[in-house]
Every structure is written in C-alpha cells, then in structure tokens.
Amino acid sequence: MHRLIIVSNRLPFALDSAGEDLWTVTPAVGGLVSAVEPVLRERGGTWIGWPGTAGEIPNEPLAKATRDAGYNVVPVALSETERDEFYYGYSNEVIWPLFHDLQNFCNFDPAYWQAYKQVNERYADAIIRNARPGDFIWVHDYHLMYVAQALRERSTSENLSALTFFLHIPFPPYDIFSKLPQQRRLLRALLQFDLLGFQTRRDVRNFLQCVRRVMPDTKVVSRGETHVIRFEKRKIRVGHFPIGIDFDSFENEAKSEAVAQRSQKLRASFPDCQLILGSDRLDYSKGIPERLRAFRDALERYPELRGRVVLIQIVVPSRVEIPRYNEFKNRIDRLVGDINGRFSTSTWIPVQYHFRGLDREDLLAHFRACDIAFITPLKDGMNLVAKEYCACRIDQDGTLILSQFAGAAEQLKPDALLVNPYDVEQMADTIVKAFRMNPAERTARMKRMLRMVRKENVFWWVDSFLAAGSQLTRKVTRSRRN
C-alpha cells in the first residue's frame, strides 16, 4: 500500500489566537474534512494544509491539536496578504462563485492570480520536503489547482509518483468558464496532474468541453466512462468519483441512546408538527433565501400547513470576513423575521433559525428527528448533508427534497424529490407533496436511498480513486525505471 499524502488548503482543525500565547483549536466544518478525515484516521498518512491562522504557526498548540490524530500533520503558513489574496481573493471571490455558475459574484482582481500561484508554490515546496518516491500524492480542491504545475516547474516531479487531484466543487460549462481571465493557464496547470477526479458525470463533461475549446493542442479519447487527454506527450486520466460519507459511523451514532434522547426531546418541542430541516454552511451557493421564500409561499398557498410544519434552519457561520457573506446573512435574517412575523401564532413559530454550528450529536439528533430534509443548493459539487440525513434515518422513514443541481442528485434522483431551486412555486408544491406523502412510499424511497448511500460510502470513494491512481503510480514508476 502506498503512503498517502493528502494536500488541501485547510487542515481538519483551525487554530485561533485568543490572546498572547493563548490558542484555541476548533474542528473545521465542511464537506472535505468530513470525508477525508475518517479515511486518513483509518489508513494513516500525512495531511499537508493551512491551520487557518495568518502569520507564524505556533508549535505547541499545533502539536497538541495533532497528537492523537493518527496521521502526520504538516502545516503550511500564510501571511495576512496571502490569506486575503489567495484564500479570500482568488479562491473565494473568483473560483468559488464562477464554478457555481454565479459569475456576477466574481471579483477578477488581477493581483489575486499572482497570490494564488505563489501560495500553490508554497504547497508544492511542502510536498517536496515531505514526500518520498512511491507516495500517493492526492491534492484536493479548487484552492490548489496550480500545485502540479509548480511541482513540475521545480523539475523534481521525476522523483514523485503520479500526481492526482480531486475537485470537490462543480466544474462549470464552457460558457461560464470562458469568463475566467486565466482560463488557459488554469487548464494547463490542471493538465500537469496525472489523474483528475470530479464528483459527477456533469463535471467531467464540462471539463472535457472546456479542454477541447480552450486547449486545441490536446487530444481527448473517451471510451465509455474512461477519458484520456493527450497533452505534451503525457496522458492525463479523467473520471468521476462521487464522494460518499462514513456511513457506519453516522448510522451507529444515530442509533446511540444520547442521540435518541436528544431527538425525542426535539420532537416533543413541536407536537403535531412535521419537522423540515435545512442545514448548510453560510454560503450564497446553498440556496437558503430561495428555500425560505418557498417555505413562505407554501404557507401562503396551503393553509393546511400552518401550525402543522416547522422549518428548522441551521446556518453554520463561514467566511464571514468576506463582505458578501455578511450581506447574505442579513438577507436570511430578514426573511426569517418576515416569515415568523407574518405567520406565527401564540403556540407556533414556523421557522426555528440557528446561526451557529451544532455539535455532532445534536446535528445527528436533528437528522433523526426531522421528517423532511430540504436541501436546495443553486449548485453543489455533491452535498454530503443529503447523504448524512439518509444514513441517520434508522427507522427508514423520511423524505429528501433535493436540488437537481446538487451532485448528489445524480445518485439519488429516482427517490429524492428533485426541485429547481430557482423555481419557488415548484419548491413550495414539493413541500406539500412531501408533507402529504404516505408512509409506505416514504419508506420505499428511503430504503433505496439508504442502500445507495451505504454502498457508495467514503471508503468506496477513496478505494475507487486510489485504484485509478495506483494504476498510474505503477506505470509512472515503471517508465522512470526503464
């Protein structure tokens, strides 16, 4: 088995200065960490990433945070300017909105690209310092698309095994991607990897379309689900690898006495109501205002719902330093205020809103207690919350309303109720459909979703990606020996 080196922008925890020599360590919340952490914990290896604090990284708190991790942690330091221009800037004001088809939210400041390259070079240096020949190098996500190019520029990649990359967010279609000023440079950089993994067939299709249009000096050969790009005498493999969850751990924890009690308590607080759950990081791509508007429309047009449903909306604070995220929070606050102001009675408040992360036990209790999950991203690479909700439905009951633009829809579509998050009326009608659905149909749908989420779990995801990468590792090692 190859030694696994995971490289991602963030480590699975964040260090925060709480005053002179005082540091707090908090677990990072997000899909990448939820998926990759259990894998490294099981297999061991090395995780290279940024601990989320600008400036020098304090040794002692870092050592304390990683002592029991079960894998090595290699921190990468970012200065304040790099954090602002690489992380908040190019990653989150250019790539994130553009790749979620929200081009109007982009700020194409040219200084950001320089910072992006510079920080990617820093990560490449960290890989060079820590990797040995034969290691499986797996770079993650949109912050680090330039790493392989930086490694090859340092011409040490001869000593490295195959370089692999997985994109957690969607890849946009050509009409959108072509707005990016660095479109050619970015594609060229991505083609320096040996294996490129995407969440869905949709993303692979979009990526190959962009390669064909922007890089005429490439040749794409597709045979069924296998795609190979020939570029500069190299072969780059491209495939879709839908990410999954650590199913057993969700299921087992959901069955625990502690979660059962919290879930019963939650249910008891809303007698005679069906509970609808929304749970997202604070992000404009997650479709939270659209969801609230749909809920408001449902209450307006279907009076039978009044006093009979409650929407529990959890919003986990995220990237709040970016002004747009703050404005976005204000929009959500106003909508919740409007709905509760219009429809509340002395015994019923329609929206329960939490602007904070829940601890895992509480989150699972919510998954277990809520009859309907209402997940409506405008676009999403996968959306793990949808899968986690299913895994926690140990009674095999419950309905999933899911955006057709979430990657998860590709796998769950026959049984989830798919909606267009831009169509408020359709979403409102779907809430009623879920509310009225008979138990036998709910169970039949949930059973099939459970089967899929259990089978195509996070370990299945890793194994299929590593299997595709290992073929390359063997080839690269062999060709370098000859």
- Site residues for ligand GDG, 299-318, by CB under 6 A, read 314, 316
User: ∠314-294-392 over CA atoms, to 5°?
Assistant: 40
Nearest to 3 by CA among 144, 160, 157: 160
- Rounded Cα distance between 119 and 121, Å, is 5
Name which of 153 and 248 has its Cβ closer to ligand GDG.
Answer: 248
384 binds ligand GDG (CB under 6 A): yes
CA dihedral 420, 424, 428, 431 (to 10 degrees): 40
Asked if 194 is an active-site residue, the reply is: no
Q: How far is the CB of 468 from ligand GDG (least distance, A)?
A: 17
Name which of 30 and 307 has its Cβ closer to ligand GDG.
Answer: 30
246 binds ligand GDG (CB under 6 A): no
- Rounded Cα distance between 192 and 21, Å, is 41
Q: How far is the CB of 404 from ligand GDG (least distance, A)?
A: 14
Q: How far is the CB of 232 from ligand GDG (least distance, A)?
A: 29
388 binds ligand GDG (CB under 6 A): yes
- Joined together, the tokens standing for residue 447 give 């059973």
- Rounded Cα distance between 475 and 482, Å, is 11
15 binds ligand GDG (CB under 6 A): no
Q: How far is the CB of 9 from ligand GDG (least distance, A)?
A: 12
Q: Which residues of 274-284 are buried (b: 16+ CB within 10 A; e: fewer)?
A: bbbbbbbbbbb
- Rounded Cα distance between 160 and 476, Å, is 9
Tell me which of 28, 29, 106, 220 binds ligand GDG, using CB under 6 A.
29
360 binds ligand GDG (CB under 6 A): yes
Q: Which position's Cβ is nearest ligand GDG? A: 31
363 binds ligand GDG (CB under 6 A): yes
Find the catalytic residue in 2, 100, 143, 168: 168
Name which of 33 and 298 has its Cβ closer to ligand GDG.
Answer: 33
Tell me which of 5, 6, 11, 32 binds ligand GDG, using CB under 6 A.
32
Tokens 């330093």 appear where? 321
Q: How far is the CB of 67 from ligand GDG (least distance, A)?
A: 21
Asked if 280 is an active-site residue, the reply is: no
| H helical segments located in 72-224 | 80-82, 96-99, 110-130, 147-153, 174-177, 183-190, 201-214
Q: How far is the CB of 298 from ligand GDG (least distance, A)?
A: 23
Region from 146-154, 190-198, 332-340, 382-390 binding ligand GDG, contact rule CB under 6 A: 382-390
Q: How far is the CB of 223 from ligand GDG (least distance, A)?
A: 27
Region from 14-22, 171-179, 355-363, 411-419 binding ligand GDG, contact rule CB under 6 A: 355-363
Enumerate residues 6+ apart whose C-beta is below 8 A from 378. Answer: 100, 101, 102, 284, 285, 286, 287, 290, 403, 405, 421, 422
Tell me which of 31, 172, 350, 421 binds ligand GDG, using CB under 6 A.
31
30 binds ligand GDG (CB under 6 A): yes
Name which of 32 and 275 has its Cβ closer to ligand GDG.
Answer: 32
Find the catalytic residue in 203, 246, 380, 429: 380
126 binds ligand GDG (CB under 6 A): no
Tell me which of 51, 52, 357, 469 binds ligand GDG, using CB under 6 A.
357
Region from 25-33, 116-124, 395-403, 466-474 binding ligand GDG, contact rule CB under 6 A: 25-33
- Joined together, the tokens standing for residue 27 give 């677990």
DSSP states of 270-333 as a string? STT-EEEEEEEES-GGG-HHHHHHHHHHHHHH-GGGTTTEEEEEEEE--STTSHHHHHHHHHHH
DSSP 91: I
- Site residues for ligand GDG, 147-206, by CB under 6 A, read 168-169
Angle between helices 360-369 and 257-268 (to 10 degrees): 60
How much of the chain is in helix, strand and coil states, percent to nearest 5? 50, 20, 30
Q: Which residues of 444-455 are buried (b: 16+ CB within 10 A; e: fewer)?
A: ebbeebbebbbe
- Rounded Cα distance between 153 and 164, Å, is 16
Region from 24-32, 67-75, 108-116, 325-333 binding ligand GDG, contact rule CB under 6 A: 24-32
> What amino acid positions are annotated as catalytic residues?
168, 380
Binding site for ligand GDG (CB under 6 A): 29-32, 34-35, 168-169, 243, 279, 281, 314, 316, 357-358, 360, 363, 380-385, 388
